[in-house]
Amino acid sequence: MKKLKNPLTLLVFIIVAASFSAPFGTPQLAAFAKDFLPAIATLIAAYAGAWYGASLVRDSAQEDERIRQIGAGARAMLTLWRQVNIVAQIQIDIVDQYRDTPSVAITLPPIDYPLDQPPRIDLDSLTFFLDLGNAGILETLVIAEQNFLHTVDVIRTRSTLHLVEVQPILEKIIPNGGPISHASLEQALGPRLFSQLIDQTKRLIFRVDRSVEDLDNVANELYAALTKRFPDAKFPQPSKTAPK
């Protein structure tokens, strides 16, 4: 038998049982019903109203939290879409055009994409994944975003080096354009600048390729986690920008 834990329910049960165990039609039962049962009915009605009100508040709070979590997930997906499209566009428009060129260190131009304020994911709004036992998705998001920000920094550094230090020298040694030998270029730039330019160009190509792949993968992981948690909600699906 199920144990009665609510004291009010237990009290009502005892009173009803006592009433039905008493002789029907006796003055004692009539007096009891007249004086006591209305008070009990009022108490029960008050309790039921309070319970129902608390239930509505609880349900409303749960729905508000659900809506907040869906909104946080959708904003995170949109931010990932922006991040992956930034690096994918650079990959398609610039990196892919020069990566196989022997003189890529020189021919790859400075990248003037607007990178001053790269989009950032609001990770604090996604901490509900911790309560769901899925801390791994947060770790993956942190790593992917840090790689993205590092890629942005590499692009800025290499672009500044090319624009500020390399470009003025190139304009002096090839004023009318045209090819220049590897030895002449190294001599003009000097060993330090020449090696630095080659190294940063390689890093840029590697970081852009890696960041596109990482962001695309984590976007798919986050999408899968969100649709599993909220199967009826709609979330944007970021994907790598297709080549023109």
User: What percent of the chain has pLDDT above 90?
Assistant: 48
pLDDT on residue 168 = 87
The rounded distance, in Å, linking the Cα atoms of 117 and 164 is 21
Question: Residue 135 pLDDT > 50, yes or no?
Answer: yes
The secondary element (H helix, E strand) that includes residue 61 is: helix 37-90
Highest mean predicted confidence (pLDDT) among 59-63, 112-116, 222-226, 234-238: 222-226
Phi, psi of 114 (to 5 degrees): -70, 100
Q: How far is CA 241 from CA 187, 201, 231, in A?
A: 40, 22, 26
Confidence of residue 242 (pLDDT cuts 50, 70, 90): very low
CB count in 10 Å sphere of residue 138: 17
Identify the DSSP state of 231: T
- Strand, coil or helix: what is 117? coil
CA torsion, ordered 187, 188, 194, 198, to nearest 10 deg: -110
Taking residues 125-144, report their average pLDDT: 92
pLDDT for the residue numbered 101 = 87
Residue 188 DSSP SS3: helix
Per-residue pLDDT at 208 exceeds 80: yes
- Cα(237)–Cα(76) distance, integer angstroms: 11
Which pLDDT does position 214 carry in this prediction? 94
pLDDT at 54 exceeding the cut of 90:
no
Q: Which among 213, 169, 204 has a CA at the least distance from the CA of 189?
A: 169
Q: Taking 60 as the threshold, does the pLDDT of residue 157 lie above it? A: yes
- Give the residue among 183, 188, 168, 182 at the shortest CA–CA distance from 104: 182
Q: What percent of the chain has pLDDT over 70?
A: 70
On whether the CB atoms of residues 161 and 196 are closer than 8 A, the answer is yes
Token pair 């947060």 in the structure block, residue: 138
pLDDT value of position 57: 56
Q: Which two tokens stand for residue 141?
A: 């998001």
Return the C-alpha torsion angle 181, 185, 186, 190, nearest 10: 160
Q: Are 224 and 188 in contact (CB under 8 A)?
A: no
Confidence of residue 243 (pLDDT cuts 50, 70, 90): very low
Residue type, 102: P
Closest CA to 201 of 189, 213, 218: 189
